[in-house]
Copies of this chain bind each other. A is one copy, B any other.
Amino acid sequence: MHFGSVFPPMPTPFTNGEVDPSAIRFNVERWMRAGLGGVVALGTNGESALLDEDESDRVIAAARDAIPSDRLLIAGTGRESTRATIAAAKRAAAHGADAVLVRTPSFFKSLCTPALFTRYYTAVADASPVPVLLYHFPAAMGVTLLPETVAQLGEHPNIAGMKESSTDAAQLAAFVDATGPTFSVIVGTGAVLYAGLCLGAVGGILAVAAVMPELCVRLLAAVSAGQHEEARQLQKRIAPIGRMVTSGYGVPGLKAALDLAGFKGGEPRAPLASATREAQDQIRAELARVAEVV
């Protein structure tokens, strides 16, 4: 399985408050035409924390409908308990996921030791019908994986790689250096796509790729071709929107940006609220600025 592409962590569109499968298909088809390597469903940006188990299944099924079999559907299936995570991984595979992306447990922070992570991910990987990607997002989860832990987990035949969502280049390099060539480190945020690829990451799962997929695909191609100056210029272009749809305005900002870019974004689920008018104006202005530069 090849993770050397760019994937959008797709938001979940709602119509009248309910998951809208047709909007999912609309978005996914368009992303596929833009050359993305597949889609991540039910990540942080998919508001997976706000969906129940049945809704999660419907999201995966709808995404699968629109993804060709030669592209990847990666499904977020992390839960706090080992058994719920395994159950979610099995259901995701049954609904067509090619791989599962499993965030670190984090509720009992002081108990989240290297031993706990090893235990948890080993049990999940043992039971999952499809390959497992670790999902490391210390700023959001408040817990940290060590390079040694990742190196050890990387030996498991059913653990294929990790999404690293911090912007810490030393940490990302440590994960690459600690693991072997068959373990895929995937950049988890647009702000460090170019830096991460330089350091040995193979691809990206990036909110900004949902909004401007072509630029992200070109950046990956430029690094592959050794065109570093081109890559750096592309990085500079995607950075401001990348910030707005993540640390800046979060999921509401990402959904607003999708609407402005012709995708189906819509409202987030309560207690989240839509992006403010001011946020929308900033996103619109920045999208216009980027478009002009092209």
Q: Contact residues of A with B, CB < 8 Å?
A: 17, 44, 49-52, 80-84, 105, 107-111, 115-117, 119-120, 123, 140, 142, 167-174, 177, 189, 191-192, 194-196, 198-200, 226, 228, 232, 235-236, 239, 243, 247, 250-252, 269-273
What are 14 pairs between A and B in contact, CB < 8 Å? A17-B83, A50-B84, A51-B81, A81-B271, A107-B140, A116-B271, A123-B270, A168-B168, A169-B195, A170-B191, A170-B243, A173-B235, A173-B236, A194-B199
Given contacts A49-B80, A105-B271, 19 further A-B contacts (CB under 8 A): A49-B81, A81-B270, A110-B250, A111-B250, A111-B252, A119-B270, A168-B168, A168-B169, A169-B169, A169-B172, A169-B191, A169-B192, A173-B191, A194-B199, A195-B195, A195-B198, A195-B199, A198-B198, A226-B228
The residues of B that contact A84 with a CB separation of less than 8 Å are 50, 52
Are the C-beta atoms of B177 and A109 separated by less than 8 Å?
A: no
| Chain B positions within 8 Å of A192 at CB level | 169-170, 173
